[in-house]
Amino acid sequence: MEDNRIIKTEYSEVMQKSYVDYAMSVIIARALPDVRDGLKPVQRRTLYDMYELGIRYDRPYRKSARIVGDTMGKYHPHGDSSIYEALVVMSQDFKKGLPLIDGHGNFGNIEGDGAAAMRYTEARLERITQEAFLSDLDKDVVDFIPNFDETEREPSVLPVKVPNLLINGSEGIAVGMATSIPPHNLAEVIDATKAYMLDENITTRELMRYIKGPDFPTGGIVINEDDMLDIYETGSGKIKLRGKVEIEKAKGGKTNLVITEIPYTMIGANIGKFLMDVASLAETKKTQDIVDITNQSSKEGIRIVIELRKDADVENFKNMLFKKTRLEDTFGVNMLAICDGRPETMGLKQIISESVRFQYEVAARKYKNLLEKELDRKEIQEGLIKACNVIDLIIEILRGSKDRTMARTCLVEGKTEGIKFKSKESKVMAAQLCFSEKQANAILDMRLYKLIGLEIEALINEHEETMANIYRYEDILARRDSMAQVIINELDKIKDQYQKKRKTQITNAGEAVYVEKKIEEMDIVFLMDRFGYARTIDMPTYERNKEAADTENRYVFQCKNTGKICLFTNTGQLHTLKVMDLPFGKFRDKGVPVDNVSNYDSAKETLIYAASQSELNLYRVIFATRQAMLKVVDGGEFDVAKRTVAATKLLDGDEVVSVVAYKEQRNIILQSKAGYFLRFAVEEIPEKKKGAIGVRGMRLNATDEIEAVYYSQNAVEQSIPYGNKELELNKIKLGKRDGKGVKVRQS
């Protein structure tokens, strides 16, 4: 009978438990490395699968797709992309101080280009991976656990002989936590490990005699050496990194700045961003020292060349690069790893301590396994030696026995019933035999050539070697000093074979001091055409081309090269842009769209008025809207630091139709769509704040709206084209603000 009971439970409790289970699964089984072997599960499974497939360093390469597919099918059912990505990273010498996989084909590069698809690339294990990570798996040194569907068994950890967590570092984002461990130099880590084994009370400061700091595969310079002790004691902190910059003399007395090493954080797309940032410094006129920049990097290494002007202040320019680009960057350290089944942030000494503890466990299991095998071998060897001494009797037993069982029983228990002997003496001697089961089976399996004199001598020598091994293994297992020496010997062997020179320099360097060159302030002229392209020219150029400049451009006014331009739009917004962001040069230069150098968007709003911010500070500004709302605002309110602010407040459905600086205007003339004109004194418009709506300037019909706004001076004739005639503005009857105005016919 089906059980259809519905169990009621609190939704929040179910969600909380489910999320905690999910978080722990990600933390333990996906994102964080184990402190013992320094590997995440996907890395461990990929290496073990390659070992199982026999893709050794001295065998041919195999397709990456084969490795990925086998790993996914047997051990890691989380998608091929994560496995292939792990495989690729373990082969990249610019990401790992000690690559674990030997990649063949396009495995990406330091500039961020990705690896080729897995069907094109090939891989095999590196020699050190085989010797220092996987070599003892056949000696029962680690526990094997069932895979995801319990059809295979996989190691819970690899028997790594070095503190790989420090050597290769690790990066991973889990749920609610992340790890970021920098790579270190193999030789230094091994020396520190040996020092710890010789004195377990050693301090972190003393360990740092051997490990000065991280050793990034990209080199670079760590500039906060004094902070390293605190980082290594707590397991967290910030490492300040700089690229290595060299100065080369170029032709014509020029100087080249050559970047030969980059911060570890710059690898990938950040190299391209760095080049763009340097180019931007020239474009925005932060510096005028740059002549050219080229990326000459190749397989031989990084080489970014910045060509400078003859009179450039090289040291100041170098400091500007440190300040304004990622040539100086921060590497956040958080040495978080799985220790005893739980995530823990560990310092340098604790990581080495856990690694050494693991080495002792592995060594104990290894030599216990080897001892058992040698004891078995000893037992068999002794049986064979003993059998050689009574070989005639054994042959007589074998010839007189009916089957193998009868012969084995005689050899083990001395039972002679049913066996035909040539003499009574042989039967008596056979009754005294007492070989073990293993010895008896070995005797029965022995081939006749083993009775040759040299073979017997070899057997005796082999037995002596076995006894020496047993004595050695028992000594290693009985005395911690002996086991420590074995581990140290293995570490020395790995160091001698695989050590590399340190690449990263560790030092203390002061803050990069960049003195920004003061730009000489001067008057220039701002030009903007009807298409929204803006530029600036110097005063003499403007004077020579005054007529063309005034007729061809929508806005022409004088400004300071260090100032800002204010752009007022129909939506009531004020956008500011720096004059320095505009191209300065020849009169016929095209300029740049103001959309590109400000927040103004010509697709969504219309430019109503442009003026120099310094000029607005001297005047007041008159606003007029479609619904005839008017106000005067002090121009100083528009001297703002933000790139965009609200210049005025608008009623629903309203928009700005006119913005002008209040200079010599006496009268304002509002023209409505229906043909009404209202002229009154500008003085009637009250001064308000920029956040105010203003006052009504003209009474409009329900469907009417302001179409145009004009200004005039007393006794100065001014006319506009209206319909088929010229309309003189000063002849319009002078009224009062908030009047209806007069209707003017168009013909």
Task: Give percent above pLDDT 70 in the chain.
Answer: 98
The secondary structure of residue 245, as a DSSP letter, is E
Q: How confident is the model at residue 141 (pLDDT cuts 50, 70, 90)?
A: very high
Tokens of 393: 């009797």
Mean pLDDT of 263-289: 85
Catalytic residue numbers read 120
437-495 tens-digit pLDDT: 888 888 888 877 766 766 778 888 988 999 999 999 999 999 999 999 999 999 999 99
pLDDT digits (tens, 9 = 90+) for 108-129: 999 888 999 999 999 999 999 9
Mean pLDDT is lowest, of 330-339, 625-634, 724-733, for: 724-733
- Per-residue pLDDT band at 706 (split at 50, 70, 90): very high
pLDDT single digits (tens) 76-120: 998 899 999 999 999 999 999 899 999 999 999 998 889 999 999
Mean local confidence (pLDDT), 587-601: 89
- The average pLDDT across 398-423 equals 83
- Residues paired with residue 669 on neighbouring β-strands, in sequence order: 679, 710
Token pair recorded at residue 706: 């302001």
- What does the pLDDT average to over 694-723? 88
- What is the pLDDT, as a whole number, of residue 451? 67
- What is the rounded distance in angstroms from the CA atom of residue 371 to the CA atom of residue 402? 37
- Position 27 pLDDT exceeds 80: no
> 667: left (phi > 0), else alpha (psi -120 to 50), else beta?
beta
Q: What percent of the chain has pLDDT over 90?
A: 61
pLDDT score recorded for residue 300: 83
Confidence of residue 15 (pLDDT cuts 50, 70, 90): confident
**CB 147, CB 74: distance < 8 Å:** yes
Q: Quick one: pLDDT at residue 445? A: 83
Q: Is residue 39's pLDDT more than 50?
A: yes
3-state DSSP assignment of residue 57: coil
For 490-505, letters b (16+ CB in 10 Å) and e give bbeebbeebeeebbbb
- Mean pLDDT value across residues 671-693: 92
pLDDT at 35 over 90: yes
Distance separating alpha carbons of residues 180 and 418, to the nearest angstrom: 76
Virtual torsion, Cα 344, 345, 349, 355, nearest 10 deg: 40
Cα–Cα distance between 582 and 612 in angstroms, integer? 13
pLDDT score, position 437: 86
Long-range contacts at 508-511 (CB < 8 A, ≥ 24 apart): 508/223, 508/224, 508/225, 508/226, 509/221, 509/223, 509/242
Tell whether the model's pLDDT for residue 254 goes beyond 50. yes
Amino acid at residue number 42 = V
- Confidence (pLDDT) at 454: 64
pLDDT tens-digit map of 235-250: 999 999 999 999 988 8
pLDDT greater than 90 at residue 28? no
pLDDT band at residue 510, thresholds of 50, 70 and 90? confident
∠263-265-266 over CA atoms, to 5°? 70
Q: Residue 518: is its pLDDT beyond 90? A: no
- Between these two residues, 512 and 70, which has the higher pLDDT value? 70
At 1 the pLDDT is: 43
- Which one of 153-162, 595-604, 719-728 scores highest in mean pLDDT? 153-162
